[in-house]
Amino acid sequence: MKIVYAFVLCASVVSTSVLARTEDRSQRAEFRAGRSTENAGVVEFSRGFELTQGSLTITSDSARVFRDASGALVRIEIIGKENEPARWREELDDGTPLDGRAERIDYFLQDEKVTLIGQALVRKAGDEMSAETINYDLNTQQLDAGGDSDQPVLFIYTPPQKPADG
């Protein structure tokens, strides 16, 4: 029941006609942190982390960036801290902000997918979806929410405001 319910809600939160800024992923990415160390293809950022790329902004307490054998970035693991989740914000092509937060965010660069894990929440145009885990495909804009916990998927729909008669 939970899987079917999540699938129906996902279609409501992000429609396929509204895409994240497609040019963002081809722009230069900037990583900032208070400290950085690199060892065997893994760069660890600590003391605050921020990634910006076009309209995309990701902030957290710390992060790990994983490279493949050729040096290409393959995954970014963004880690919040207690009472301060990792945050992800991106603007859609129509200008609508898409916000997410979770205890951890895994950004799979080559697959163009994002997984929000632990008290995950995604907001778009007044609507909200929360679950233990939310998977988001940047190409198809499909959300898949659920997880292995007993926490149900929660979807909050905010109807569009009608113009006041005047």
Mean pLDDT of all residues belonging to the chain: 82
Task: Write down the pLDDT at residue 157.
Answer: 83
At residue 150, does pLDDT exceed 90?
no
**Helix/strand number for the chain, H first, E second:** 1, 12
Task: Write down the pLDDT at residue 95.
Answer: 85
Residue 90: which of 31, 37, 24 has the closest Cα? 24
User: Residues 152, 143: contact at Cβ < 8 Å?
Assistant: no
Q: Give residue-wise pLDDT tens across range 82-140.
A: 899 999 999 877 888 989 999 999 999 889 899 999 999 999 888 899 999 999 888 88
3-state SS class at 122:
strand
What are the structural domains, with CATH classification, of the chain? 2-156 (2.60.450.10)
At residue 48, does pLDDT exceed 70?
yes
Tokens of 53: 């790329």
Please indicate, yes or no, whether the overall pTM of this predicted structure exceeds 0.75: yes
Of residues 163 and 18, more confidence is placed in 163
